[in-house]
Amino acid sequence: MFGGFLGNPPPPTALSCFDAPAQAPVFTGGFSGVPASSGDSVSLGGIGKQSQVQAFERPEDLVRQAIQRGVLQHLVAAPPQWHSQHAAPSPLQVLIQNTTSSSTEQQTINASPPPPPLPPAPPLHTWEGLRHFFKEFWASPFNRLFTLGALGAFIYIYQGRQQHRWRMAEMQRRIDSNPFLRFWNQLLPPSR
């Protein structure tokens, strides 16, 4: 009545290629029929009933079953190592020994006091002070740039003013040398 786990297996029936087997066969170690190792048995669904199913199976199913047999044979032959690798490691005992200590050491070194600062130099006389001032002033690049720029601007403005004076003097000389312009200048004096 109860087959499988609780009692004797049910009688074998004819299977088609789409039916699942009713009982899991025992793997006998490849095509030779010799068990892979003593005491080991691995179940493959439907492989033990080759004589009944071979007439209905396709070549792809046969290749798949051969691969499954080879993998299971390899797994049965290898010792189970994954249990020891994935097992939780035993707790590690850590021993902490804390100690505190402090020490103070003071050393007093009597060093000689620093020398007193030098007194300021006496003021220089007029020419010496002026020469010293210009020497320090000219030592700075910014001061040199400013001085040369100011001197160039002064010369540019002075040259422009002198050129304007020369043009006005030349115009007045031309007016005085031309009789028509002199007469017109006397009738209508220039507005200034």
CA atoms within 13 A on the CB side of 75: 12
Query: Using an 8 Å Cβ cutoff, are 30 and 69 in contact?
Result: yes
Residues near 70 by Cβ (< 8 Å), separated by ≥ 6? Answer: 30
Whole-prediction pTM: 0.33
Per-residue confidence (pLDDT) for residue 144, from 0 to 100:
96
Specify the DSSP class assigned to residue 156.
H
pLDDT: which is higher, 164 or 101: 164
Report DSSP state, residue 47: T
pLDDT tens digits for 22-64? Answer: 444 444 554 444 444 444 444 444 444 454 545 556 888 888 9
